[in-house]
Structure 1
């Protein structure tokens, strides 16, 4: 049984960004965990590590817990994991699971 998750690294003005898409659930957690930790190990100490989830269709508590653990792990090495593009459903799940206390969301610009 395969997973329905897309994982890639994009390089932009703010450095390498881990881009996740598809379904982040118990079936894809292993692949996503490996990609997140590999990405964390490739960035400099003290870095802001951006994980773009704007293309994620669905997420479950298992995947969010894995991101929370990665975020806590990165703090030990002086890095910060920041989620970019969290849709309202992901934000709601973060609040319901109380993981919003551990996972940092990138601030979105306020429209003028």
Structure 2
């Protein structure tokens, strides 16, 4: 898992699964502590995701809201969206709206 930052955005790439959840969790919470503005977790570069990883995102969203922050997921591909729906975590996280094609 590669984790990079671009201002308030935290960009993930690689496999987001049980092996990388601790690393991603720590990065998200540190990023939330360091930014007073809204934080975006960009999943465009994520190739695979599992239920454990999605639970990390859901808990981070809940904790961010509790602390007065706003966390949004960007670049959720079909596989990520499908897993969010199957797990019903889609009710907890906020996805960035994508522009409609012309």
Fold-level similarity (TM above 0.5): yes
Q: CA deviation at 1:80?
A: 1.3
Match of 1:50 in 2: 40
Tell me the secondary structure at the aligned position of residue 63 of structure 2.
Answer: helix
Equivalent residue number for residue 8 of structure 1: 4
2:32 counterpart (7, 25, 40): 40
**Runs of at least 5 residues in structure 1 that lack an aligned partner in the other structure:** none
- Runs of 4+ with >6 A deviation: none
Unaligned runs of 5+ in 2: none
Of structures 1 and 2, the larger Rg is shown by 1
Residues in 2 aligned to 1:70 and 1:41: alpha-carbon distance in whole angstroms = 12
TM-score (norm 1): 0.88
Structure with bigger helix share is 2
Residue pairs, 1:62-101, within 5 angstroms = 62-101=52-91
Aligned pairs, number: 102
Following the alignment from structure 2 to structure 1, what is the Cα–Cα distance between the partners of residues 33 and 38?
12
